[in-house]
Amino acid sequence: MASKLTLQLIKAAKPRTERYTLWDSDVKGFGLRVNADGSKSYALKYLFEGRQRWHTIGKHGSPWTPDTARTEALRLLAQARTGIDPEEAKRESTRADLTVSELCDLYVEAARRGEVLTKFDEPKKTSTLLTDESRILRHIKPLLGKKRVRAVTSDDVERFLHDVAAGKTALDEKTGRRGRAIVEGGRGAATRTVGLLGGIFTFAVRRKFRPDNPVQGVKRFKDKRNERYLSQPEMARVGAVLAASEAAWAAHEVAIAAWAAAGRTGRPPKLPAEALNPSAANAVRLLLLTGMRKSEVMNLQWRQIDAEHGYLRLSTSKSGAKGVPVGASVLAFLAGLPRIAGNPHVFPGQIAGRPFVGLPRVWKRVCERAGLEGVRIHDLRHSFGATSASSGNSLLLLGSILGHRDPKTTQRYAHLARDPVRVAADQVSSLIANVLETPIDQTSPELRAPSTERPNRQARIVRRRPAST
């Protein structure tokens, strides 16, 4: 039954398990919605072009009281009678006033719900979303956040690109008790952030917040991908560090056992400086042997090892679920690793049932001992790809091994692949070079030139006896 909405009536309205509406007796279709969480808002139900529609006027409280909301309901009904849909007019107003900062928030919310898809038609992964949110917070909002979405032009985007590249958003600040945010900017950051901005404006076009994408046509800096590969001598030095670590760890375990057998008297043996955590050392080995990503290796579980068919069956990765082909040497290496009861991970950590964490710190120590500079953990994946390409494997085959879904990703190794024509030329030149270095009496008869030339003057001079003094 409808009653005139008053402050006393609204105050007395209590929440229920489901939302309900108190209808106003003075204006048809005008009412107060009482939500299950106790919040209250004024709304109008009306007909437009034969269809029933709802329009939310606003939450109860300043500026909306029963009287001001009722006046607004009358205005909206009059608007509908003139052929203007109040709800559509509200959306248009929202689009016109939407800022880039608000658009970014809508984009992130939609991405979290799985509504923003990658080029592989899959929802963005949590790790990717965290990177997106960081770029939005550190670059997009500070420079473009206050601009209206419909007012952004390609000139604004180009200016944004150069500002980020020049370090205008660079900062170094403390975050929390132990955290620190270091934002350096640069061309790489600028190019990738503009790429994200293009995706955000594509989302805006799809939601009809603006008719076009201002990022289209803006020329970005060439994204110079890191092409640091380990050479064979460098790989050998890494192997030596890992071998020394394994020997030191084994010796330490023997010393600990002897100390325990002796009644645990005195201080326990100290862990040698060269000893690395076995989980970390073995993870580095598998990264080099397979070209897998760090997250794929560290989250690898025993149940994912398909020794019968020679695959590591990953349920998730950057490119979705995939199988990583591995050879007998990798399977033998994995079979020799110890297992911890109750921990499903191949590289267990200190916490029961959890994988090892802290590989970047261990890798830094490996690099210091191996004399490596500027080598990231991800460069081990590049090293695998470079070694495979230079050994003669096709890029198509290499892309399958590394799990590249986009052939363009594998093209980074194209300059290392062995060109069949170049291989043939190398074989011929090597044959000729070997012949040139062979003594004349050891060459085959067909390669010997006929002796038709007379000895030269220099040869005759060499054969003369020295003059007597």
Delimit the domains of the chain by residue range.
Answer: 7-96, 98-206, 232-416
pLDDT at 104: 96
The owner of tokens 């057998």 is 261
pLDDT band, residue 291 (cuts 50/70/90): confident
What gap in Å lies between CA 435 and CA 315, rounded to an integer? 56
CA nearest to 8, candidates 74, 68, 65, 73:
65
- Whether residue 339 has pLDDT greater than 60: yes
Query: Percentage of the chain with pLDDT > 90?
Result: 55
Highest mean pLDDT among 219-233, 333-347, 374-388: 333-347
Centroid of chain to Cα 56: 40
pLDDT band, residue 465 (cuts 50/70/90): very low
What gap in Å lies between CA 181 and CA 138, rounded to an integer? 10
What gap in Å lies between CA 448 and CA 27, rounded to an integer? 114
What architecture (CATH level 2) is domain 232-416?
Orthogonal Bundle (1.10)
Mean pLDDT confidence for 285-295: 88
- Terminus-to-terminus CA distance in the chain, angstroms? 143
- Whether residue 450 has pLDDT greater than 60: no
Q: Crossing angle of helices 154-165/187-206, nearest 10°?
A: 150
pLDDT at 222: 81
The owner of tokens 């939500």 is 35
Among 25-29, 67-71, 372-376, the range scoring the smallest mean pLDDT is 372-376
Given the candidates 3.40.140.80, 3.30.420.40, 1.10.150.130, 1.10.3720.10, the CATH classification of the domain at 98-206 is: 1.10.150.130
Where b means 16+ CB within 10 Å and e means fewer, 430-452 reads eeeeeeeeeeeeeeeeeeeeeee
Q: What is the pLDDT of residues 163-205, one digit of tens each?
A: 999 999 988 777 766 666 777 788 989 999 999 999 999 999 9
**Strand-by-strand arrangement of the 20-23 sheet:** 20-23, 30-34, 40-48, 51-59
| Helices marked H in 220-262 | 232-261
- Whether residue 77 has pLDDT greater than 50: yes
Q: Which CATH fold would you assign to the domain 7-96?
A: Double Stranded RNA Binding Domain (3.30.160)
* CA dihedral of residues 330, 332, 335, 337 (deg, nearest 10): -70
